[in-house]
């Protein structure tokens, strides 16, 4: 195996186009690099979807502001502190606080981060969209460790078509600001968007490499019935796996999660992802009563489970993949 090899756009594109046996060889190569770097260890991060209120109208998203058929909720700061402390007691060493994009709760989140950090050692990742530089600084000073902000696609035109409220340059600027402020920064893309090409996807992977992001999330496109993209077909799992493996080989030591959306696309999607380059699993730790209302796409799984059983289910998934769940913060290892 070539260590930390530099790949060209056309080499990445070729990986994305592989089928059947050749694709399996690619997954094996990505898996053996993952095991060389991390052993069989899989890091776990609990996601808490604390609000589905969103001021934006991204075309693919089930909680976009234009969807009037979604029951909106927001978990208040005192409840949120308790949920995070419960996650800590359940042995989570990292949690991800995720929400739609609005500014009204930003001060509450500063208080929640300060409280949690004064009580326990748990890594806090925020996934709350584009904010001002001052806001990112405030949360960093409060103790936030990481920030996830997906670029969704590096094809500017495609980005603009899908995000009526967003500016591509501002998204890039936000990512660079987060890096400059010392966050561990995660980004990622959606795969299977209308008019997206293999060349676009290969460019996305080069973008991750060139900017040395720490965490890379892949969202397979799955349509939501209450969005303008309701009639577009879901991407197939083999493209998701090809992309994951290519991402592992090109970006080398990044943290790459197997997500709930992969299990929605394919019953064994997470196990397959954990054998094709993923080294992180991100189960849903949102209290069960809110989960039905946080559907970015249709048929999302895990909406009926109790948070208290989340770690147990996750351990079983990881074991089915022949890996070992490790209870660590899972910072990026360079
Ligand atoms: S993708 Fe994010 S910003 Fe866009 S509508 Fe959905 S929650 Fe809001």
Any domain includes 53: yes
**86-100 b/e (C-beta count within 10 Å ≥ 16 → b):** bbbebebbbbbbbbb
- Supply the range of the domain harboring residue 268: 9-326
What's the rounded Cα separation, in Å, for the pair 2 and 135? 42
Q: How far is the CA of 11 from the centre of ligand 1 (A)?
A: 32
Any domain includes 334: no
Q: DSSP code of 284?
A: B
Query: Of all protein residues, whose CA lies closest to atom 6 belonging to ligand 1?
Result: 61
Pocket of ligand 1 (CB under 6 A): 54, 56, 58, 61, 63-64, 100-101, 129
For the whole model, what pTM was predicted? 0.95
Any domain includes 185: yes
Per-residue CA distances from 126 to 49, 98, 229 (Å): 11, 6, 27
Q: Which pLDDT score is estimated for 290?
A: 85
The number of domains in the chain is: 1
Which tens digit of pLDDT belongs to each residue from 102-148?
Answer: 998 999 999 999 999 999 999 999 999 999 999 999 999 999 999 99
Query: Of all protein residues, whose CA lies closest to atom 5 belonging to ligand 1?
Result: 64
Q: How far is the CA of 52 from the centre of ligand 1 (A)?
A: 9
Structure tokens at 111: 């208080």
Mean pLDDT by runs of 10 across the 334 residues of the chain is: 79 97 97 98 96 96 95 95 96 97 94 98 97 98 98 98 97 98 98 96 98 96 95 96 98 95 93 98 90 73 67 94 95 84
Any domain includes 136: yes
Q: Can you give the CATH number for the domain in which 172 is found?
A: 3.20.20.70
Any domain includes 240: yes
What's the rounded Cα separation, in Å, for the pair 20 and 28? 12
Any domain includes 1: no
Any domain includes 4: no
Any domain includes 314: yes
What's the rounded Cα separation, in Å, for the pair 222 and 61? 10
Q: Which atom in ligand 1 lies closest to the alpha carbon of residue 100?
A: 7
């Amino acid at each position: 195996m070539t260590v930390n090899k530099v790949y060209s756009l056309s080499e990445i594109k070729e990986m994305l186009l592989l089928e059947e046996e050749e694709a399996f060889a690619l997954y094996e190569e990505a898996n053996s690099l993952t095991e060389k770097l991390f052993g069989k260890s899989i890091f776990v991060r609990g996601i808490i979807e604390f609000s589905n209120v969103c001021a934006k109208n991204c075309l693919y998203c089930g909680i976009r502001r234009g969807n009037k058929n979604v029951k909106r909720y927001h978990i208040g700061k005192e409840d949120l502190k308790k949920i995070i402390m419960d996650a800590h007691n359940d042995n989570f060493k990292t949690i991800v606080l995720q929400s739609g994009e609005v500014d009204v709760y930003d001060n509450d989140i500063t208080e929640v981060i300060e409280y949690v950090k004064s009580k326990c050692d748990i890594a806090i990742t925020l996934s709350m969209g584009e904010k001002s530089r001052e806001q990112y600084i405030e949360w960093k000073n409060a103790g936030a460790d990481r920030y996830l902000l997906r670029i969704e696609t590096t094809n500017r035109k495609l980005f603009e078509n899908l995000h009526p409220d967003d500016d591509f340059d501002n998204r890039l600027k936000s990512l660079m600001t987060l890096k400059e402020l010392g966050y561990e920064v995660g980004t990622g893309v959606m795969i299977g968007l209308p008019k997206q090409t293999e060349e676009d996807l290969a460019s996305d992977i080069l973008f991750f490499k060139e900017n040395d992001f720490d965490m890379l999330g892949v969202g397979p496109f799955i349509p939501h019935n209450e969005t303008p993209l309701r009639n577009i077909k879901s991407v197939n799992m083999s493209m998701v796996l090809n992309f994951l493996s290519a991402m592992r080989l090109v970006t080398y030591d990044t943290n790459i999660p197997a997500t709930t959306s992969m299990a929605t696309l394919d019953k064994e999607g997470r196990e397959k992802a954990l054998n094709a380059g993923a080294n992180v699993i991100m189960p849903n730790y949102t209290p069960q009563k809110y989960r039905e209302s946080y559907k970015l796409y249709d048929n999302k799984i895990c909406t009926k489970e109790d948070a208290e059983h989340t770690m147990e289910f996750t351990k079983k998934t990881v074991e089915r993949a022949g890996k070992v769940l490790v209870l660590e913060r899972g910072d990026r290892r360079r």
